[in-house]
Amino acid sequence: MAVLIDGKALAKKIREQLKEECNELKTNKIIPKLAVIMVGDNSASKVYVRNKSRACEEIGIEYEEYLLDENIKQEELIKLIQKLNEDKSVNGILLQSPIPGHLNINQAFKAITYRKDVDGFTPSSVGKLSIGEDTFISCTPYGVIKMFEEYDIDLTGKDVVIVGRSNIVGKPLIQCCLNKNATVTVCHSKTKNLTEHTKRADVLIAAIGKPKFITQDMVKKGAIVIDVGINRTEEGKLVGDVDFENVEKIASYITPVPGGVGPMTVAMLMNNVIKATKEQYNINTKF
């Protein structure tokens, strides 16, 4: 039976550390502030934004929310981002995705100044990650790496197979794992003989958004399995991309859904807000 990687407990530990750092900043009259932009009325986004708001409140980060009409023009969205870039009281800017299809999300991400890019999506952040420089790392991949560190899982020389190549999770995870000296294979919807790849993985990371897609016969005995997926069944139950009940029987480590990667994503966002604040005030960061 696999060891459960408890993302909920680790996220709580990280938030407690960040609360201490936030209190230290406040003794110097520095109050970290996160501005979140949400375009349209996406129910899933509302849940994610609410979780971020609660985490800010717990840690002591000031939180500001901008709810924009789904028919907003690109120029108006960019104008708001530029305004927040120039606002010295704002330390981090987050554009909640997805946004309506008529808007260019990449152009919007590019408009966010690097110093406030707490989601790690600007070209500067992505480029710095690719050459191994200190930067803001996309929150979900960063959370996965922190889980490996917490459980003393050394990726050096391990075959890591990532199923999914999104800009938000799959692609930054490639670089994060390479930076930990892993050998990385990326699979996606066009990959042939997928099971041949997943079956040889020492570490299998599923990030495709298909409920229970990774089954026991696709996993090597003793593999470490990280489930990034969050899917809701017709009955309303939250499940991951991995058939947890069966894969757990043969894996060495596994993340649950919920309670695995999800809480870590929010925790690492909070970490990035504190990091951005400290860098803007030329204070050394712990992470």
Catalytic residues: 52, 96, 119
Positive or negative, the CA dihedral 118, 120, 124, 130 is positive
**Which pair of tokens denotes residue 267?**
């925790």
Alpha helices in the chain (DSSP H): 7-27, 43-59, 74-86, 105-111, 123-130, 139-150, 170-178, 194-198, 244-247, 261-280
Residue 13: HSE in the Cβ half-sphere, 13 Å Cα cutoff = 9
Determine the Cα–Cα distance for residues 199 and 203; give it in Å rounded to an integer: 10
Determine the Cα–Cα distance for residues 23 and 140; give it in Å rounded to an integer: 25
DSSP one-letter code for 242: B
Can you state the angle between helices 139-150 and 7-27, rounded to 10 degrees?
110
Using CA atoms, how far residue 99 sits from 40, 78, 216, 228, in Å, is 7, 13, 35, 21
Contact, 136 vs 115, CB < 8 A?
no
Tell me which residue of 227, 224, 178, 226 sits closest to 201, measured CA to CA. 224
Give the rounded distance of the alpha carbon of 83 from its chain centre. Answer: 25
Determine the Cα–Cα distance for residues 220 and 204; give it in Å rounded to an integer: 9
